[in-house]
Structure 1
Amino acid sequence: MGLHFTAEEFSKRKQDVLKSMKEQNLDALLMFRQESMYWLTGYDTFGYVFFQTLILDQKGNIILLTRAPDLRQAQNTSNIKDIRIWVDQDGINPTNDLKHILNELNLKDKKIGIEYEAYGMTGRNALRLNKSLENYCNVEDQSELITKLRVIKSDEELVYVKKAAELADRALDEAWKYTKAGASEAKILAEMQRAVLEGGGDYPANEYIIGSGDNALLCRYQAEKRNLSDTDQLSLEWAGTFKHYHSVMFRTIPIGKADSKHIKMHEACVDALTNCVKTLIPGKTAGDVFDAHAKTFDDLGFKKARMNACGYSLGSTFSPNWMDWPMLYTGNPYVITPGNVFFMHMILMDSDSNLAMNLGETYLVTENGNERLGKQKLDLVIL
């Protein structure tokens, strides 16, 4: 059985969840977030795109309800002993199977927390579930109960986070090696992903972001691939990923020569990142970090080009994205805590001049401040 953590670690996590459930007066929790299932039991799959839930009650019973393809998946990757299968057939409603399990656990008229904020919890599944539980039990949205525990990384988790950071560094080495006028974006992308996989890593929870020319101003992956022009700009956002733990980096690389505004934008990104690093310390809030970013850019005249968030927590996340809770935006009250891992991205997209500049790094919050996990230079590299 391929468990990535010790039995003691899993036991502590379970006790922490049960304690949080008790504080919320919950008799049971229905997990729909794959991140919660993986963190609590080791269960590793992409079968969460269908109806699938992990049930935990106050007595400590854990039951997985899933489809047949995930039976052996759960047996091989997790410590879950009780796995129930709902059968695919036309018109099937798996919430009926769930109701049988809830009856078995004597949860009628009890208070049940549900993770609604989950990619497998489609609107249709939520409607079915709510209808099934109507007049059966008291339901409460507890989407963040486990997420708030996951946001502080254990020593065992940090081993994987730091390995992910090493792989992200290796990927940047490949990007610098293969980026030049005439190079194919596809080749650069392939070599970066190869470095991670050959280093023992995984696929990331979302696609690497790559764009040159006009597409250098995009913050999302899109399907176009082009060859770099003699004078160009290439934006890259990627993650080193190990056991689903992510360490993310962001760079814009001028090709041939840098526009003078590129250089000013890069200096602004370095200043903003420096001020965010000074603010990412225990006791400050996620909102404080964003405000440090915004003030720096605004004071330098880049208000129109900046974003309304400057990063987010990272951890063991699954498709469709590697962004985790909480995000760094103004007013966010989350208090920065030792064991947090945050990706901070300084993004400038100047549509007037059609120039991009991005700088992003991942940091571990420590007792006294923070530690940058990537070891690469922050200088503007022109290729």
Structure 2
Amino acid sequence: MSVTPQSMLPFPKTDLLARQDRLRAKLRETGADAMLVFSQESLFWLTGYDSGGFVFFQCAVVTADDRPITLLTRRPDLLQAKMTSTIEDIRIWQDADDANPAADLKAILDELGLQGGRVLIELNTHGLTGWNLWRCQQTFGDWCRLEHDEQMLRFLRLVKSPAEIDIMRTAGKICDRALDAVIETARPGLLDSDLKAAYLASILGDGADMPPNAPLFNSGERAVFGRGVTKPRKLEAQDQILVEYPVAYRHYNVKTEWTVLFGQVPDKQRHMYDVGREVLTKMTDLARPGTTLGEIFDAYANGLDAAGYGRARYGATGYSVGISYAPTSMDVPPMIYPGAQMRCEPGMTLFYHVMNGDGDTGLAMGVGHTLLVTEGAPEVLTYLPDELTVIT
């Protein structure tokens, strides 16, 4: 079977070329001559290119004019670049003890006549390590004006197209079925990792990607943690497990958060649930055009403070979701924190949660979902059960 260039584009080629036109227009508007794209998320959105090669040194050069995009990558990524993207000019740098791909990149910029030009570089990405940035800075010196891109591509992809929204709706349905599978699996005597396995089997069997980051399945005293931890733990007859996980479909992520309780529910923990659900409802209703993300945070903070849980609340309570590669399912910025000035727009997709971990009592409660901002009331993309889940 022969390799057919551009045979596996994730979107119609016209959509991808239109996105490239938007980026070039933005570059011209800001007076930049070119941009160095290191983010795999940006490469996927811009060209369709789908690879894990970003963990090495990989960069696409996009000029402000209409010259073709040039990709610099390694040999294992060559065929994927040809088949999954619109990129036709693909250059390879070779592994060696003295390899310096930044020098290969500078040679491409020289071919494009960019010496002395203003070149933006995509900095806020796991695709550009500090070491690789240092190599670029040392190699380029003052040969060109290397400047921060100010999150240009990240903000261009913040508002989703109808095709992207369809993908995220599919991810939401996969996420919903996984939560059902987790709840159906939950019972005392299992390891909390057994529930994690049920989640993975459900989403992968449903056509999802591997999640870009490990899910959070924290049980017992660890349920108050805001991050996952190692070593499985056996679920007891009187117990709790806080669940937060991503589902990625075609690299577009949604997330959910829920709490499963075992045995008798303490009155204080039921109150924590009632407060969390009420606050989440208020936050959700605020996700309308014109509302700032800071106002959504205020609803979260005021709700927990009024209920007496001010000590437990976080400094941020949600963020944008969309295209994400490992190691995270967050597509940030933006985030929902005090004073955040970004305003909701139709087409934005947000995950936010109300996580309440009481370090004094050891009780935990968390609820959260993904939503789509519309012209009116937001559309919730990941459902939560109507009632608190209690396994007796």
Deviates more, 1:281-290 or 1:183-192: 183-192
* CA positional deviation for 1:124: 1.2
Q: Structure 1: any 5+ residue segments left out of the alignment? A: none
Distance 1:75 1:261 in 2: 57
Distance 2:82 2:225 in 1: 41
Matched, 1:26 2:32: yes
Q: Is contact 1:168-1:248 (8 Å) kept?
A: yes
Distance 2:206 2:153 in 1: 30
Report the AA paired with residue 63 of structure 2.
D
* CA displacement 1:313-347 (0-9 Å, x = unmatched): 10010111011121100111111110000001111
Matched, 1:167 2:174: yes
**Corresponding position of 1:129:** 136
1:280 is matched with which residue: 287, 296, 306? 287
* CA positional deviation for 1:49: 0.8
Normalised to the residue count of structure 2, the TM-score between the two structures is: 0.96
Report the AA paired with residue 138 of structure 2.
K
- Give runs of aligned pairs for residues 293-308 of structure 1, distance below 5 A: 293-308=300-315
- Give runs of aligned pairs for residues 47-66 of structure 1, distance below 5 A: 47-60=53-66, 61-66=68-73
Deviates more, 1:35-44 or 1:69-78: 69-78
1:334 is matched with which residue: 337, 342, 350? 342
Deviates more, 1:69-78 or 1:166-175: 69-78
Distance 2:324 2:128 in 1: 16
Distance 1:223 1:70 in 2: 32
**Corresponding position of 2:3:** none
Q: Secondary structure at the match of 1:382?
A: strand
**Corresponding position of 1:271:** 278
**Corresponding position of 2:330:** 323
Matched, 1:207 2:220: no
1:219 is matched with which residue: 226, 244, 247? 226
Distance 2:126 2:150 in 1: 12
Q: Secondary structure at the match of 1:118?
A: coil
Distance 1:191 1:80 in 2: 39
Distance 1:236 1:378 in 2: 16
Q: Is contact 1:310-1:345 (8 Å) kept?
A: yes
CA RMSD of aligned residues (A): 1.1
**Corresponding position of 1:371:** 379
* CA positional deviation for 1:369: 2.8
**Corresponding position of 1:361:** 369
Report the AA paired with residue 364 of structure 2.
A
**Count of aligned pairs:** 383
Distance 1:24 1:224 in 2: 50
Q: Secondary structure at the match of 1:226?
A: coil
Q: Secondary structure at the match of 2:136?
A: helix
**Corresponding position of 1:74:** 81
Deviates more, 1:132-141 or 1:313-322: 132-141
Q: Is contact 1:210-1:236 (8 Å) kept?
A: yes
* CA displacement 1:52-110 (0-9 Å, x = unmatched): 10110012320110111111121222121111010000021111100110011110111
* CA positional deviation for 1:47: 1.2
Distance 2:226 2:216 in 1: 7
Report the AA paired with residue 16 of structure 1.
R
- Consecutive aligned runs of 4 or more in structure 1 exceeding 4 Å deviation: none
* CA positional deviation for 1:240: 2.2
Distance 1:26 1:379 in 2: 53
1:12 is matched with which residue: 6, 9, 18? 18
**Corresponding position of 2:196:** 189
Report the AA paired with residue 379 of structure 2.
E
**Corresponding position of 1:115:** 122
Normalised to the residue count of structure 1, the TM-score between the two structures is: 0.98
Q: Secondary structure at the match of 1:327?
A: coil
Report the AA paired with residue 264 of structure 1.
H
* CA positional deviation for 1:143: 4.6
Report the AA paired with residue 266 of structure 2.
D
Distance 1:230 1:143 in 2: 51
Report the AA paired with residue 76 of structure 2.
P
Assess, with a 3 A threshold, how the Cα gap between structure 1 residues 83 and 143 changes in structure 2: closer, same or farther.
Answer: farther
Report the AA paired with residue 209 of structure 2.
D
Q: Structure 2: any 5+ residue segments left out of the alignment? A: 1-6
Q: Is contact 1:55-1:62 (8 Å) kept?
A: yes
Distance 2:291 2:105 in 1: 42
* CA displacement 1:192-228 (0-9 Å, x = unmatched): 1111111111111111111101111122222211110
* CA positional deviation for 1:375: 3.2
2:355 is matched with which residue: 347, 357, 367? 347
Distance 2:248 2:117 in 1: 40
* CA positional deviation for 1:307: 0.9
* CA positional deviation for 1:255: 1.0
* CA positional deviation for 1:378: 4.2
Report the AA paired with residue 28 of structure 1.
A
Report the AA paired with residue 312 of structure 2.
A
* CA positional deviation for 1:186: 2.0
